[in-house]
Amino acid sequence: MANMSLEKNKMPVQDPAVRSANFLEVALGYTKEQALDEAARCLQCKNKPCVEDCPVNIDIPAFIAEIAAGDFEKAYQSISQYNSLPAICGRVCPQETQCEGKCIRGKKGEPVGIGRLERFVADYHNEYSNPSGGAEIQADSAKPKVAVIGSGPSGLACAGSLAKKGYAVTIFEALHVTGGVLSYGIPEFRLPKSIVQKEIEALKGTGVEIISNTVIGKTLSVDDLLNSGGYKAVFIGSGAGLPKFMNIPGENLNGVYSANEFLTRINLMKAYLDGSTTPIHHGKKVAVVGGGNVAMDAARCARRLGAEVTIIYRRTEKELPARAEEVEHAKEEGIVFLFLTNPVSIAGNEKRWVTSITCEKMKLGEPDASGRARPEPIVGSETVIESDCVIMALGTSPNPLISSTTAGLDIQKWGGIITDEQDGKTSREGVYAGGDAVTGAATVILAMGAGKRAAEAIDAYITE
């Protein structure tokens, strides 16, 4: 008998007053009882509308049915046929615009908590069923080697799918730590790094080799990999790590960060820990410019470093691109939002440290190319906001290093690698690409979907 409650089981979370001063995980995960109760809300729809909007097509009613039957390991096995990083996706996917956005229960009340159930199943598996990682897969020595550039979600998904097919796969990673944005961008309190590393260890257990501290385009080129390296195909999953700025006066003052730099110092280099060798400016009044997940993460990190934080966004709350849960958590933690507001300049003192940010008020006009209402300035509406640190979270684009060192690789004007949408094939023979390097900054699950599809195409290319 289905549970007809109109509301999702609430996710237990750390108290906002306590968590805004620590970096421990905010959402604590469902208990067994909550997971069983939530799974009973699923109506097992025959036409599965929730699956349509899942970029990796997880059979959602099937895994929820296993939870409802109390077989959590079988639920995990069901998800992992489609998604190799469920503990991560259960935590960071924007479910409200994907599977849960299509859930039939959402028509009258809240949708089934699909993301929360996915996280429960993955955590249960990690705790009770698989303490030492994944099963070893022997590479087929008759199959050629494949190189993957970047160890973010797209690279990991591509490598995992190829390893399952018996290929010997090597991932080349520029940084000393693997995981891409999962490790250097998304903070510990949203995605504990032990979970990311556990998923990567499981992947290594399947035979994938990871070589870190290797910048493709500098240490080695794509040509080196294809020629002397002996790799038959290359997948580029190098992400979009180049930050954008507004080009307004004062942006080069001390205390102005790109969100990428600020988050990398905190998440990758652990600058928030006493004794860390990486410095970070502890601003008292921090202004964060932007409205996406990156802005929320930067704001919440600054809050945990002890600042009063204001998010400055040029559209209204309705247009905020960040996940709804992150916005709610940011508000609970005392972060102030200034909507319809846009910076025009930043002022500093004689030592060139930021002292304030001047903003103008905006109103919404006609839709722009992205389909969202275009914000327009209101003349004479400038106000000065006192700030000793400004973090720019305005989006990122792909780093041109690989495209500028690889002959025959076509790119968009803004730097994205041009590929066939279906299979990630680039203009260069044997070279495939996917994730943020192709789309610009997007989502974990879209990057994984692209990595998986490219793996299928690489297999077809090699075996044809």
Q: Which of 55, 155, 375, 449 is the binder for ligand FAD (CB under 6 A)?
A: 155
Per-residue CA distances from 273 to 54, 255, 335, 419 (Å):
37, 19, 22, 42
Can residue 58 be called a binding residue for ligand SF4 (CB under 6 A)?
A: no
How many residues comprise the chain?
A: 464
Per-residue CA distances from 156 to 23, 143, 186, 235, 318 (Å):
26, 19, 17, 11, 33
Distance (Å, whole) CA 419 – CA 451: 12
Distance (Å, whole) CA 166 – CA 367: 49
The minimum distance between CB 327 and ligand SF4, in angstroms, equals 23
With respect to ligand SF4, which residue has the nearer C-beta, 50 or 307? Answer: 50
Q: Tell me the per-residue interface mask from 79 to 118 with ligand FAD, x by CB under 6 A, - otherwise.
A: -------------xxx------------------------
Size of the site for ligand SF4 (CB under 6 A): 15
Interacting span for ligand SF4 (CB under 6 A) from 47-55, 331-339, 407-415, 421-429: 47-55
Strands 396-397 and 242-243: antiparallel
| 3-class SS shares of the chain: helix, strand, coil, % to 5 | 35, 20, 45
With respect to ligand FAD, which residue has the nearer C-beta, 39 or 56? Answer: 56
Residue 217 touches which member of ligand SF4, ligand FAD, none, C-beta under 5-8 Å by kind: ligand FAD
Closest-CA residue to 289 (of 254, 247, 328): 247
Q: Which of 38, 118, 436, 459 is the binder for ligand FAD (CB under 6 A)?
A: 436
With respect to ligand SF4, which residue has the nearer C-beta, 51 or 312? Answer: 51
Q: Which of 104, 253, 269, 338 is the binder for ligand SF4 (CB under 6 A)?
A: 104
Residue 432 touches which member of ligand FAD, ligand SF4, none, C-beta under 5-8 Å by kind: none
Can residue 361 be called a binding residue for ligand SF4 (CB under 6 A)?
A: no
Can residue 115 be called a binding residue for ligand SF4 (CB under 6 A)?
A: no
Can residue 447 be called a binding residue for ligand FAD (CB under 6 A)?
A: yes
Map residue 445 onto helix, strand or coil.
helix
Residue 48 touches which member of ligand SF4, ligand FAD, none, C-beta under 5-8 Å by kind: ligand SF4
The minimum distance between CB 445 and ligand SF4, in angstroms, equals 16
Quote the radius of gyration of the chain (alpha carbons, Å): 23
Treating both helix axes as pointing N-terminal to C-terminal, what angle do 32-39 and 60-68 enclose, rounded to 10 degrees? 120
Interacting span for ligand SF4 (CB under 6 A) from 40-48, 153-161, 249-257, 276-284: 40-48
Q: Which of 42, 226, 287, 362 is the binder for ligand SF4 (CB under 6 A)?
A: 42
Q: Which of 114, 156, 289, 457 is the binder for ligand SF4 (CB under 6 A)?
A: 114
Could you please report the per-residue DSSP string of 79-116?
A: HHTT-S-HHHHHHHS-GGGTHHHH-GGGGSSPPP-HHH
Can residue 49 be called a binding residue for ligand SF4 (CB under 6 A)?
A: yes
Distance (Å, whole) CA 301 – CA 291: 15
Q: Which residues contact 259 (CB under 8 A, 6 or more apart)?
A: 243, 288, 290, 294, 295, 297, 298, 391, 392, 393
Strands 242-243 and 209-211: unpaired
Interacting span for ligand SF4 (CB under 6 A) from 45-53, 178-186, 196-204, 338-346: 45-53
Alpha carbon of residue 88 to chain centroid: 9
Interacting span for ligand SF4 (CB under 6 A) from 57-65, 214-222, 241-249, 325-333: 57-65
Can residue 68 be called a binding residue for ligand SF4 (CB under 6 A)?
A: no
With respect to ligand SF4, which residue has the nearer C-beta, 45 or 394? Answer: 45
Can residue 447 be called a binding residue for ligand SF4 (CB under 6 A)?
A: no
Distance (Å, whole) CA 303 – CA 20: 6
Can residue 112 be called a binding residue for ligand SF4 (CB under 6 A)?
A: yes
The minimum distance between CB 51 and ligand SF4, in angstroms, equals 7
Q: Which of 38, 118, 123, 173 is the binder for ligand FAD (CB under 6 A)?
A: 173
Q: Sheet containing 256-258: which strands, arranged edge to edge?
A: 256-258, 389-392, 285-289, 308-312, 336-338
Both structure tokens of 257: 């960060």
Interacting span for ligand SF4 (CB under 6 A) from 100-108, 188-196, 326-334, 360-368: 100-108
Handedness of CA 159, 162, 164, 168 (dihedral sign): negative
Q: Which residues bind ligand SF4 (CB under 6 A)?
A: 42-45, 48-50, 60-61, 64, 103-105, 112, 114
Q: Which residues bind ligand FAD (CB under 6 A)?
A: 92-94, 149-155, 172-175, 180-181, 185-186, 215-217, 237-239, 241, 263, 293-294, 297, 323, 399, 401-402, 435-437, 441-445, 447
